Amino acid sequence: MTPHPTQTNTVLSQQDLLEAGLNRSPADNPPREIPRLIGMDLAALEAMLADWGEPAFRARQLHSWIYVHAVRDIEAMTNLSKGLRNRLHQDTRLGQLELVDKQISRDGTTKYLFRLQDGNVIESVWMPFQERESTSICVSTQVGCAVNCGFCATGKLGLKRHLSAAEIVEQLLYVRHDSGQPINNLVFMGQGEPLHNYDAFIEALRLINQSAELGMRHITVSTAGLVPQIRKLADEQLQLTLAVSLHAPDDDTRNRFMPINQRYPIAELMGALQYYYDQTHRRLTIEYILLAGLNDSDTHAQALGNLLETLHCNINLIPYNPIGAEYGFKRPDRLACLRFKRTLEAHSRHKVTIRLERGTDIDAACGQLANRHQAPARS
C-alpha cells in the first residue's frame, strides 16, 4: 500500500524557513528612483502638482485618469495641457508592470505574467462570470511565499520579496484596462500571504477602495492563518471578507501540509477568527481544499462541522488542483467531494459550497500560480 503523502519528515526544516520568511521586514521593497504615478493618492498628486505650479483641479483630473479610467498612456489624458503631459513624461512614470505572457483559458479566465522593475515576476488572474454578469481579479501580494503549504505551487518558489502597494494596485488597473471591463470583485488570493505583507496590503486596499472606487464589500483577502495579523485586521474594522485557508479540522492533519500550523495551531486560530467576527460582524469564509485520502473522509467532515459550530462563517470546499505528481497529493473524484459536502451539511448549520473550477487548463486555479511560463531574464 502506498503511504499517504505527508511532510512530517521535513516539517522542521520547513518551519525554520517559515520563521525566517515571516520575520522578514516589509522594507524589502526596491526603492523608486523616479516617481510612479500609480501608488500616489490624491493628496500626494496634489502636493506634486502644487510644487509644479499647477492648480488643484489638475490633480483631481490626473487622479481620475489613473484610478477611474485606468489609462496606460499619459497621452490619453486629453484634458491635461500638453505642457503638463510633457512634464509628466519627463519627471514621472505611470507604472512599472511589464506584460510578459498572457494566457486565456477555455472558460475565459485570463492569467497575466508581469515582470517587475527588478526583474522578478508575478501572476494575476482575471475571471469573467457571464452567468452573473460580473468580473473578478485575483492579485498577488508577494514574489513567492514563505508559508509553503504543501499543495500550493507558489510556496515552492520561496519568498523573494514583498510587493509594494503600488505593485499590488497596478495589477488591478492593468487588467481593468486590458480587459476593457469594470472589475466587480477583488480577491487577494494570488501569489503570497497578504497578511505577511500587512502594511503594503492595507495601503493598497485603501487606495483601491478610495481611489479606484471599489467597495470594501467587494473585496476578499485570504490568509493561511497569521493570528496576530488577523487580530490586527479585525481592529481596522473594515467591511471586507476574510477567507481563511483551514484545510483540516485538527492539528495532526493540518501539520502534514501546512507548516504554519505549528506556529499558530487551530485553537489559537479559531480564537482569532471569533475575535475578527466580534469586531467586524462580518461572516468569514472557511476554505477547505479536499485532498484524496488525507482530509476528505466522513470523520473529517464531521470534525469540521463540530469545529466550526459556533463560528459565523460559510464553508467553501475546493477540490485539489494538481501542481505536480511529485508532491504526492491527489484530487478526490466528484462523488467523494459530494459525499463530503453532504456529510458536512448534516453536521453543520453553515452554508457549504464547492468552488467553481476556473482556469485549471492554464494553471490559473487555486494553488497553481508558479510563474511556469516565465520568460528568460533580461540581460
Do 353 and 315 contact (CB within 8 A), yes or no?
A: yes
For residues 177 and 369, give the distance between their C-alpha atoms in angstroms, rounded to a whole number. 22
Q: What is the pLDDT of residue 132?
A: 74
| Residue 2 burial (C-beta neighbours within 10 Å; 0-12, 13-18, 19+) | exposed
Residues 81 and 189 in one domain: no
SS (H, E, C) 124-137: EEEEEEHHHCEEEE
Give the C-alpha distances (Å, rounded to integers) separating 40 from 20, 24, 35, 339: 31, 25, 9, 50
Q: What letter represents residue 126's amino acid?
A: W
Q: Look at residue 311 and tell me if it is in a domain.
A: yes
Residues 314-349 have pLDDT tens digits of 999 999 887 666 667 899 999 999 999 999 999 999
* All three cell numbers of 43: 493628496
Residues 69 and 112 in one domain: no
Residues 288 and 317 in one domain: yes
Output the domain CATH number for residue 144.
Answer: 3.20.20.70
Question: Can you give the residue range of the structural domain that contains 85?
Answer: 42-91
Catalytic residue among 123, 193, 203, 287: 123
Give the C-alpha distances (Å, rounded to integers) separating 307 from 123, 256, 313, 325, 336: 34, 19, 12, 31, 21
Q: Look at residue 330 and tell me if it is in a domain.
A: yes
Cα torsion angle, 260, 264, 270, 274, sign: negative
Do 262 and 255 contact (CB within 8 A), yes or no?
A: yes
Sequence-ordered list of residues with C-beta below 8 angstroms from that of 275, at least 6 positions apart, any chain = 230, 231, 234
- Helix axes 42-51 and 56-67, enclosed angle (nearest 10): 130
Q: Look at residue 237 and tell me if it is in a domain.
A: yes
Q: What is the pLDDT of residue 130?
A: 76
Q: Which of 91, 117, 149 is the last residue of a domain?
A: 91
Catalytic residue among 145, 152, 337, 366: 366
Work out whether strand 121-129 and strand 134-138 pair parallel, antiparallel, or are unpaired: antiparallel
Q: Please confirm, yes or no, whether 123 is among the known catalytic residues.
A: yes
Phi, psi of 61 (to 5 degrees): -65, -45
For residues 316 and 153, give the distance between their C-alpha atoms in angstroms, rounded to a whole number. 20
Residues 80 and 102 in one domain: no
Q: Look at residue 131 and tell me if it is in a domain.
A: yes
SS3 347: coil
Q: What is the pLDDT of residue 108?
A: 86
Residues 106 and 196 in one domain: yes
SS3 107: coil
Phi, psi of 49 (to 5 degrees): -70, -30
For residues 320 and 239, give the distance between their C-alpha atoms in angstroms, rounded to a whole number. 29
Output the domain CATH number for residue 65.
Answer: 1.10.150.530
Residues 332 and 352 in one domain: yes
Number of structural domains found in the chain: 2
* All three cell numbers of 7: 511532510
For residues 35 and 67, give the distance between their C-alpha atoms in angstroms, rounded to a whole number. 16
Sequence-ordered list of residues with C-beta below 8 angstroms from that of 112, at least 6 positions apart, any chain = 99, 101, 102, 123, 124, 125, 126, 171, 174, 175, 178
pLDDT tens sequence for the chain (379 residues): 444 444 433 333 455 556 656 765 544 555 457 899 999 999 999 999 999 999 999 999 999 999 999 999 999 999 999 999 999 999 999 999 999 999 998 888 999 999 999 999 999 999 998 777 899 999 999 999 999 988 887 778 889 999 999 999 999 999 999 999 999 999 999 999 999 999 999 999 999 999 999 999 999 999 999 999 999 999 999 999 999 999 999 999 999 999 999 999 999 999 999 999 999 999 999 999 999 999 999 999 999 999 999 999 999 999 988 766 666 789 999 999 999 999 999 999 999 999 777 556 555 545 444 555 544 434 3
Q: Look at residue 22 and tell me if it is in a domain.
A: no
| Residue 9 burial (C-beta neighbours within 10 Å; 0-12, 13-18, 19+) | exposed
Q: Please confirm, yes or no, whether 366 is among the known catalytic residues.
A: yes
* All three cell numbers of 214: 471599489
Residues 64 and 145 in one domain: no
Please give the model's pTM, rounded to 2 decimal places: 0.87
Residues 125 and 79 in one domain: no
Q: Look at residue 23 and tell me if it is in a domain.
A: no
User: How many residues are present in the chain?
Assistant: 379
Q: Look at residue 372 and tell me if it is in a domain.
A: no
Residues 65 and 185 in one domain: no
Q: What is the pLDDT of residue 46?
A: 98
Residues 150 and 71 in one domain: no
Residues 74 and 220 in one domain: no
Alpha helices in 282-378, H assignment, sequence order: 298-307, 334-346
Does an H or E element contain 251, and which? helix 251-257
Residues 115 and 49 in one domain: no
Q: Look at residue 19 and tell me if it is in a domain.
A: no
